[in-house]
Structure 1
Amino acid sequence: MGYPENVLAGDEQVVLHRHPHWKRLVGSVLVLLLATFVAALAAAWVDTLSWADNAKLVVSLVIGVLWLLLVGRFTLWPFLTWLTTHFVVTDRRVMFRHGLLTRSGIDIPLARINSVEFSHGVIDRMLRTGTLTIESASQDPLEFYDIPQVERVHSLLYHEVFDTLGTEESGR
């Protein structure tokens, strides 16, 4: 899924577009599997009871609603949040947008970036993800967590910043 073109300047080109790493969704998938397993067990148990059909139906509906609430809150919501979080590098700026109902974001012009760092622990290294820290001239360092292939993104961003600075210096 490409980044929406309507937020880009006329001749601006997307160099990199990433969502957070899939590791953010592991807990959500586990909740989905566990909630489904427990709901299926409970529904099967209710079916074996010698209750009236109306009572079984009501209890089964309660189980279904509880399952839906759990899955909606702990699976669907995190997935939609993940899907609407964007880390974008263009040939002019770094953009970060996030939020489902209330959107927010930040743009950092490449010419204002002073340094780019990355860090990742053992698990993050195995999953090829990490934290990217960007320090710009006008604000405190910004940390972007769970960036997939963080070393590659760091290198790419460094080269984009270097190319932008080289272009500005040669144009003077």
Structure 2
Amino acid sequence: IAAVNGYAMGGGLEFALACDIRVVEEQAQMALPEARVGLLPCAGGTQRLSWLVGEAWASKMILCNERITAATAEKIGLAQEVVPRGESLKRAVELAHQVAKQSPSSVTACKKLIRGARERAMNPQLPHERELFVDLFDTQDQVEGVQAFLEKREPEWKNA
């Protein structure tokens, strides 16, 4: 989970692009300005940005050296949340705690499938999704999760 609290330019934005979730403070600005100095975003920037925001916005940001605001980042899907100045780390930690309440084995499987969607067409991924879903029934976490739900309590995860 990335907490962006200022300028995320070049490698800084590429680092944030590699995260699952991006929380951006209202004053933050983001850009991939490498073409301005005869280079290109070489840490996945061209690929991840295109995947997240679409080819048109990626082209505008990279080819035109377009610097965007936090509001624009949220509007185009680059940021999931915009928070007030000084609140990004706090919110990122809150989200991390939310993730930590989930089954580690389920989170791992979900992340694998979400990332796989970038690299593979949907139809071949659907059987893999079903396979991972069925595999989760063989985990202690699945039994614990259902039991905790029925007992109206927080689960105690065992698998990691």
How does the TM-score come out when normalised to structure 2?
Answer: 0.25
Structure with bigger gyration radius: 1
How does the TM-score come out when normalised to structure 1?
Answer: 0.24
